[in-house]
Amino acid sequence: MGQEENRKAEALRQEVSALAEELAEKLEDGKLKDMFRQCFVSTAATTARFLPEGRAYVITGDIEAMWLRDSSAQVAHYLPYLKRSPMLRELVRGLLIQQMDFICIDPYANAFNQEPNGRCFEKDETETSPWIWERKYEVDSLCYPVRLLAQYRRATGDDSIFGDRTKEALEKIVTLWEAQQRHWECAEYSFVRRNCPASDTLSNGGKGSPCAYTGMTWSGFRPSDDACMYGYLIPANFFAAGVLEYVADFAGEIYRDEELAARANRLSGEILEGIRTHGITQVEGLGPVYAYETDGMGHYNLMDDANVPSLLSLPWLEAPGVEEEIYQNTRKFVLSGGNPYYFEGKAACGIGSPHTPRGYIWHIALTMQGLTSKSREEREALLRTLTETDAGLGLMHEGFDADCPEKFTREWFAWANSLFALFVMEHRGLLT
C-alpha cells in the first residue's frame, strides 16, 4: 500500500476501534464485552486494505485471497454505521467497486487476487486468468455483492457507485444465471481438479451430476466451496431470486433499462416457481420441507450446511417466496439428527459441514441460528454457547469439536467474527 492507502487504513482502524468501545460499554458481561470488541474490529483491523482509485480489498483472514461472498459478509456488521464513519463508508464503497470489477473479469470465479499475479489455490482445468485465485462457480458468490450494493444504497443514499462497470456486472450476472438454467446445454463452464477429494471437483468431465430444466439456476459448488451433490442448490436459488429483485430495481430506477429489469423479474419468478415445483419434499412427522439440493429429476439431498446461504438462513437473507410453515418444518429438521451435519456433543450442539471434520460445529451456524430465532431464550442459550467455545481466544473460528472446543479449524476467520458481532448487536439492542 502507498502512503495515502496506509493513512486510510490507520484512520479506519481508529474509527472502528472507537465505535467498538462505544458499543461494548453497553454490555455488562466482561467476557462478552471483550469478545465483542475483538470480533467487531476484526475485519477492519486485520483483513481490509485500501487500494488506489478508491478501491478496497478484503481477505478472508488466514487465506490471502478475496472471496466475493466472504468479503461481503465480513462488512455486514458495519452497515448501520456508514453515515457516522467516513472510513467505513469508503471501505464498503471501495469493496463494491472492486467486486464489480472482479465480476466483470470473470463471473464464474469465486475468489480473486489483489493484482494479476497468477497466484492460485490449485492449477485447475477450467478457463482462468492471472486475477483468479479459484474458479469454483457458486451462485451465492454473485448474490452477495448485489445484496451489499442494495444495503449500501439503502444506508447512504449514494447512487454514484452505479456507473457503467456496475451495470456491466449486473448484466453479466443475469446473463449467466439465464444460461445456467440449462446447464447441460451450456458449454460455458466446467471445472476439474486432479488428485483431490471428490468434494473439490465436479464429476462428468467437470459438468457435475446430470440435471433437468426446472427454472432454477445451476450451481457447481456450495458456499462451503464443496461440490454440489445435485446442481440446484435451494438456499442459493432463494438468495438469487431476491437479488434479482434488487437488479430489477437498479435497472429501472437508475439505469432506465426496462429490458434488463424485465429479464431480472422474469428470471426471479422462474426460479421461485422452480423451487415451489421441484424444491419441496416430505419428511415423515414434519410434512413439507425445503430440500438442500435437487436435480429436477426426483432426487433430493436432505441436509443443511453451516455456510450461508443455508436453509436456516433464509429469513436473514430476506429471501422472497419462503413459506413460513415450510420454513419452520425445515428449521426443525436441520436442527435435529435428521440433518446429517447436525452434531450434539458435551460442549455444544449445532450445524457443521462436510467441509470440516465430522462432529465439528460452526460458529457461523450458531450465530445464524440466533439471527433467525424468534425465541429470546434460544438466542441467550446460543450466545452462552458462542462465548464458551472460543478456546479462550476471544474470537470465532470455522468449526470446533462439539466435545472439546479447544480443537478447532481456522483461528483467523473474519466472516465468523463479523456475524458474531452482528448477532450481539441485534440481540442485545446495541443498534437502538
β-pair type (232-233, 293-294): antiparallel
Q: Which domains does the chain have, with CATH numbers?
A: 3-427 (1.50.10.10)
Instruction: Provide the pLDDT confidence category of residue 222 given band limits of 50, 70 and 90.
Output: very high
Using the predicted structure, report yes or no on whether residue 432 has a pLDDT greater than 70: no
Q: What is the pLDDT of residue 187?
A: 87
* pTM confidence score: 0.98
Report pLDDT for 431.
87
Whether the Cβ atoms of residue 247 and residue 263 lie closer than 8 Å to each other:
no
Helices (runs of H) and strands (runs of E) counted in the chain: 13, 14
- Give the alpha-carbon dihedral of 168, 171, 173, 178, to 10 degrees: -160
300 and 229 in contact (C-beta within 8 Å)? no
Q: What confidence score (pLDDT) does residue 377 get?
A: 97
Mean predicted lDDT score pLDDT of the chain: 97
C-alpha cell, 199: 468434494
Which band of pLDDT confidence, cut at 50, 70 and 90, is reported for residue 11? very high
3-class DSSP state for residue 358? Answer: coil
Alpha-carbon span 361 to 364, nearest angstrom: 9
Which 8-state DSSP code applies to residue 228? P
pLDDT, tens only, 131-166: 999 999 999 999 999 999 999 999 999 999 999 999
Mean of pLDDT values over 248-274: 98
- When pLDDT is averaged across residues 307-323 and rounded to a whole number, the result is 98
Average the pLDDT over 120-132 and give the result. 97
> How far is it, in rounded angstroms, from Cα 98 to Cα 105?
11
Predicted pLDDT of residue 168: 98
Nine-digit cell string for 191: 471445472
pLDDT bracket for residue 232 (50, 70, 90): very high
Contacts with 134 (C-beta within 8 Å, 6 or more apart), sequence order: 65, 109, 110, 111, 120, 121, 122, 124, 225
Sign of the Cα pseudo-torsion (231, 315, 57, 48, in order): negative
Band of pLDDT at residue 380, cut at 50, 70 and 90: very high
Distance (Å, rounded) from C-alpha 47 to C-alpha 56?
10
pLDDT of res. 82: 97
282 Cβ contact list (under 8 Å, min separation 6): 288, 289
Distance CA 33, CA 38 (A): 9
| Residues 404-414, mean pLDDT to the nearest whole number | 97
Q: What is the mean pLDDT of residues 233-254?
A: 98
Indicate the pairing of strand 342-344 with strand 300-301: unpaired
Q: Which residues contact 389 (CB under 8 A, 6 or more apart)?
A: 347, 348, 361, 363, 400, 405
pLDDT of residue 151: 98
CA 119 to chain centroid: 23
pLDDT for 218 beyond 90: yes
Q: Residue 313 is placed in which grid cell?
A: 438462513
